[in-house]
Amino acid sequence: GETCMNVKRELRQRLRAVLAGIGPEQRHARSIQACRLLMEQLEYQRAEVIMVFLSLPSEVETVGLVLQAWEDRKRVLAPQVSWDQRRMIPVEIQSLEQDVVQSVTGLLEPIKGVPFPVEYIDLVMVPGLAFDLLGNRLGRGRGFYDRFLAVPDLQAVSCGLAFEDQVVPTLPIGPEDMQVDMLVTDQKVRRFGPA
């Protein structure tokens, strides 16, 4: 309810400040560490189709992950945001030059909009402002990932990708909030069982 919203608003402000405090060089180095750690995990190695987020400037950079996934012969999807339908559509990308464009909102998005069937996705990388020790996530407040992760056909492992600074002991959660199955930061890997 009301208190949950207020707590979330304050947390969002605090975490934006935390993220703003990570300089570009440090962010780049730590993004590489986080992606490297992810690629060492079985969930990544077994995955044939992965969905990544195309990072905002403050988030863990995923470019290296995308390039490596192609080298590992994986298919890579990225979310296309449908504002009118208020949902995310997974679309395959095969080049960061030709297949990606900056949308009006400043987000990088796939150009071609052929939806990829969600049931074939093995691993979904999930961004967030914060994650807690139970796998709860604080997003940017629009609910796109919560709705996407709730899609019945989606059987993928959901994996938060963040900096260790974004991990908090506990987050306020509402009924719509979806948890992630695992969380990879630049420092460690956490897996969350069913509650």
For 42-95, write each residue's pLDDT tens digit.
Answer: 999 999 999 999 988 889 999 999 999 999 999 999 999 887 888 899 999 999
Q: CA-CA distance, 74 to 46, in Å (whole number)? A: 10
Average pLDDT of the chain?
93
For 137-173, write each residue's pLDDT tens digit.
Answer: 999 888 899 999 999 999 999 999 999 999 999 999 8
Average pLDDT over residues 176-185: 95
171: tokens are 């987050």
Q: CA distances (Å), 19 to each of 14, 43, 138, 148, 167, in order?
A: 9, 27, 14, 25, 12
Q: For position 81, what pLDDT does the model report?
A: 87
63: tokens are 């470019």
For 96-131, write each residue's pLDDT tens digit.
Answer: 889 999 887 778 899 987 899 999 999 999 999 999
Give 24's contacts (C-beta < 8 A, 6+ positions apart): none
pTM for the model stands at: 0.94
Q: Which stretches of 21-159 are DSSP H helices?
A: 24-39, 42-46, 63-71, 144-149
Q: For position 195, what pLDDT does the model report?
A: 53
Question: How many residues make up the chain in this entry?
Answer: 195
Q: CA distances (Å), 149 to each of 42, 109, 119, 160, in order?
A: 21, 19, 12, 12
